[in-house]
Structure 1
C-alpha cells in the first residue's frame, strides 16, 4: 500500500524540525534528543539534511533558554504527535529533562496518523544516488507509527482497519489524478475530465488493481506506483477511446457507464459501437443502446448479434428500420436466439403476419423487449375481457402497440372504473378501445378528468357525457386549452350559438370540437351568412343540426343551388330543415324530387328526405290518392300530422301548376 517510499524522509524531517522549533527549549544543562546525533541512526540524516536552513537556530535557542533559566514545560498543542516521534528517536528508558516519561503523550491523534499516511502515499520521489543514507529512511518510521509499536520496529501488530481504508482512499485519489493528467495531455478540458472521472470509480479501482499486479513483472519491480499507473493508463488506450466516443456524440455519463460496464475490456466498447453504426444506429443513440442493452452485451460476439438482426429482418423488420428499432429497444441485443423467437411467436400466435409484426416493431420497439413474457400474457388476457378474441387483440396491437407499454394496475383499471362511473357500458368501452386505443394509454387524472369537468361546466347533461365519449372517443385525446375550449368560444361568439344551447350542440355534435377553426368552421360560418342567414338564426340552425358546420363548402354549394333553382324552395325551408345538407344530392335529393314532380305533389323537405325508400313510396301513393279524392270532391280525413301537412300544401292548385310550369313538365 505504501508507494514512493524512498523519498518520504524529506517531508518527515521537515515536520520533525518544524515541530521541534514549536516547543519551548529545555534548560541548557539537559541534553535534548534532537540535539544529539549519535543516539539514533535516523537523527543524523535529518539534522544534516537541513543544516543550510537551521544549523544556527537550535544552539542559539538553547543558549538563550539556559541564560534565562526558563524552566517552563513543553507547549501541549503539538505534544502528542511530538512525543510519539521523540519516542522513536530516543531509547526506551530515556526521560525528558523534567523527569517525565513521554509515555503520557503516546496516544496518536487520528489526524496525525492520516497526515503521516498521506505523506507516505502522496509524496514525490526525491532524487537518489547510490549509497544515499536517505533511501527508505522514513519507511520504517511511518510503518511503526501506523502499527503503534512500542519498540524499534520489532513488533508485527496488525494495521488499523480504518487507516487501511484511508490509505485506499488516498491511493484512489492518486490514481484519479494520474488519469486526469493523462486526459489533460489528451487535450481535454478540465471540466470535462473532472466530470468524467466522477463517473468511473469502478475503472479507477480496476486501474489500481492492475497497477499493483504490474509490480510482479521484472521490468516494473523497482518502479513506483505513479510510474506504473501512467504506463498502464497510456497502454490501455482509455484516453483515445474517450475521444472517439465523444466524437460519436456520447455524453460523458454514457462514456463513464460504458467504461465501468466493460470491466476493463475497453476494446469491446469500440467493437460494439462500430457494429451498431453498421446497422444504422445513429451516433447520439449509440451510447443509449450500449448502456441499456445490459451487461452481458459485452460478452456477445458479433456473429451472435448478426443472427438476431437477420431473424428480425426475416420477419418484417426492414433493414433501414433496424437502427431505429435497436436504438429504442436495445434490450433486444441481450436476448438469446431462443428467447427472441419465443417473443416473436407470442405475436404471431394472435394472427399477426410478418408485415404487421415489422410495422408494430417500428411503431413501438418496446413491445418486443421491454416486458417479460408473463406481463405480455397478462395484458392480452385483460384486453380479451372487453369481448375481443385472439385475432382482434392481434389486430389491435398491430394498430396500437403502445398498449403493451401501459400498466394494468396504474393505467387501465382506474380508467375502466371511471368509465363505469360515467355510465359507459362494456360495449361502449370496447368501442373506445377499438376506435381509439390511444385513450387507454393517456393519463386519466391529467387528461380525461379535466375534459369531462369542462363538459359539465358548459351545460352538457351528465347522462350524455358517457354517450359522447363512447360515440366520439377522439375527444379524450384533444387538448383542452388548445382545441376544445377555443372551438366552444368560437361557437358562442362567431357562430351565434347561445349559452343555453352550447351544451346541446356539443352533446349532439362532439365532432365539432375536433374541427379546425381557421380552415373549417370560420369558412362555413361565413358561407351561411353570405346566403342571407342572420347570426342568431344560424345559431339556431347549428343547435338543431351541429354537423352543419362540418361539411365542405364544395359539397354545400351544389345542394343549395339545386334547392333554390330547381326545387324553387325558399330560404326558410332550409332554415327549418338544415339537415337537408346531410343528404346526397345525386342519390337522394334529385331522384325524390323528380318523383314528386312526376306525381304533381309537394312535400316538406323533412318528409321528402328523412324517410326510407319504402316509406317515401307509401307517402307518394297516399298523396296521389288524396289529390284524386280532393279533385273529385270526396272528403278525405288525414290520419297523421304529415298527411295533414301534405293536404295543406295540396289545397292550392297554383302551387302545383307553378311546379309543372317552372320545371317544364
Structure 2
C-alpha cells in the first residue's frame, strides 16, 4: 500500500482529539502507525474563536473543536453536519481514523476538502465494513492498482459511500452484460455508472431510447458508444433535445444512432444556434460535424460551403 510520508498534522494544532481516559500503549502505537501528530487542546486559541461567544455558549467544547477541525480542513462544517447527522455524535478520534485510513490509501491531504465536501457521510463510515471493501473492489474487480486509488476516488468520491454488495457489484455485473468490457474506462472515466442504480437509473434510460424507436440492440450500442447517456435526465435532457431534433431539425433516428453524442451538447448554447446558422446558410452538414467542430472551424466551414 502507498505509505503515508512523514508526520501529518491536520493543518493546525486546533484539529486534535482527546480522551478523558488515559491512552493505552496500543492506542499510542496505533496513532504512531498512522503517522498522525496529536497535540494537546489549545484551549486559549479555541476560546478566542468566535464559536466561544455567549451566543454559542451551549455548544460543548468537543463539538466546537469538531467544527473547527472541519473548517480547518477546508470543509463546510454546517453543510457536513446537516447532511450527515451521524457526524454530530462522532468523536474526533473516529474522524482522525477515517482521515488516516484514506491517507494510507494514497489520498492526499489536499484532496480531503473536495472528498468530504461532496460526501460528508464518509466521515462517519466504518473502515472495516464500508471503506475497506470499496478499495478491495477497485483492486480485485476493476484491476485498479493501489497507487492509482487516489485518481479513482478523486474522480468519484461517491464510490466510498456505495455498498459493494448492494450497489457496485450489481452495477458492474449489469454493465458487463450490456457489453462494457473496458474496466479501465469504468474505473477512471465512467465510474459514475457504478454508483448509478440499475433499476432506477440505468434501465429506464435504455427503455426511453427504445421508446423513441430504437431497437434494444441499437439502444445498447448507443450507450456503449456514449456512456454519458446513462447520466442524462429524461425530462430535462432527452425529451427537449429529441423534440427539437425531430420537429425543428427534421432529423432521422439513423443520425442519432450514428451520433448519440448529440444528447451531450447544450440545446440552447450549441444545438439551436448551430442549427439556425446551418439553415440560414442553406447548407447541409452531418450532425457530428455541425456540433463537434470548434467555433472557428464551424464559421470557416459555413463560409466555405456557403460561399
Same fold, TM-score > 0.5, yes or no: yes
Equivalent positions of 1:51-62 (< 5 A) are none
- Number of the residue aligned with 2:142: 386
Distance 2:104 2:298 in 1: 49
CA distance in 2, matches of 1:351, 1:307: 27
State yes or no: 1:456 paired with 2:210: yes
Once the 2 structures are TM-superposed, how far is the Cα of residue 457 of structure 1 from its aligned partner? 4.1
Structure 2 partner of 1:377: 132
Query: Structure 2 length normalisation: TM-score?
Result: 0.70
Counterparts of 1:403 and 1:446, CA distance in 2: 18
2:74 corresponds to which residue? 317
How many matched pairs? 254
Structure 2 counterpart of 1:327, from 82, 85, 94:
82
Please point out which of 529, 552, 557 is paired with 2:279.
529
1:513 paired to 2:263: yes
Deviation at 1:466, TM superposition (A): 4.3
Aligned equivalents of 1:526, 1:336: Cα separation in 2: 59
Instruction: Kindly name which structure, 1 or 2, has the bigger radius of gyration based on alpha carbons.
Output: 1
- From 122, 142, 155, the equivalent of 1:399 is 155
Please point out which of 163, 166, 174 is paired with 1:410: 166
**Structure 1 spans left out of the alignment, 5+ residues:** 1-276, 284-297, 565-569, 572-665
Question: Which residue in 2 is equivalent to 1:634?
Answer: none
Give the C-alpha shift of residue 524 in structure 1: 1.5
Matched, 1:346 2:88: no
Partner of 2:194, secondary structure, is helix
Change (3 A) 1:311 1:459: same
Contact 2:94 2:124 in 1 (8 A): no
Quote the RMSD (CA, aligned, Å): 3.2
CA gap 1:518/1:375 in 2 versus in 1, 3 angstroms = closer
Match of 1:442 among 196, 208, 233: 196
Describe the superposition over 1:193-235 as per-residue Cα deviations: whole angstroms up to 9, x where unpaired: xxxxxxxxxxxxxxxxxxxxxxxxxxxxxxxxxxxxxxxxxxx
SS in structure 2 of the partner of residue 356 of structure 1: helix
TM-score normalised by L of structure 1 = 0.35
Gaps of 5+ in 2: 1-49
What is residue 491 of structure 1 aligned with on the other side? 245
The aligned counterpart of 2:185 is 431
Cα gap change, 1:488 to 1:547, in 2 (>3 Å): farther
How many Å separate the matches in 2 of 1:440 and 1:555?
36
Quickly say closer, same or farther: Cα 1:313–1:354, change in 2 above 3 A.
farther
Q: 1:360 touches 1:399 (CA, 8 Å); kept in 2? A: no
Distance in 1 (CA, whole Å) between partners of 2:129 and 2:204 is 34
Match of 2:300 among 534, 558, 565: 558
Between the aligned partners of 1:496 and 1:417, the Cα distance in structure 2 is 38
CA contact (8 A) 1:386 1:430 kept: yes
C-alpha separation between the residues in 1 aligned to 2:179 and 2:238?
22
User: Residues 417 and 356 of structure 1: is their aligned pair in 2 closer, same or farther, counting only changes over 3 Å?
Assistant: same
Match of 2:229 among 465, 475, 485: 475
Note the C-alpha offset of 1:336: 3.8
Distance (whole Å) between structure 2 residues aligned to residue 313 and residue 531 of structure 1: 56
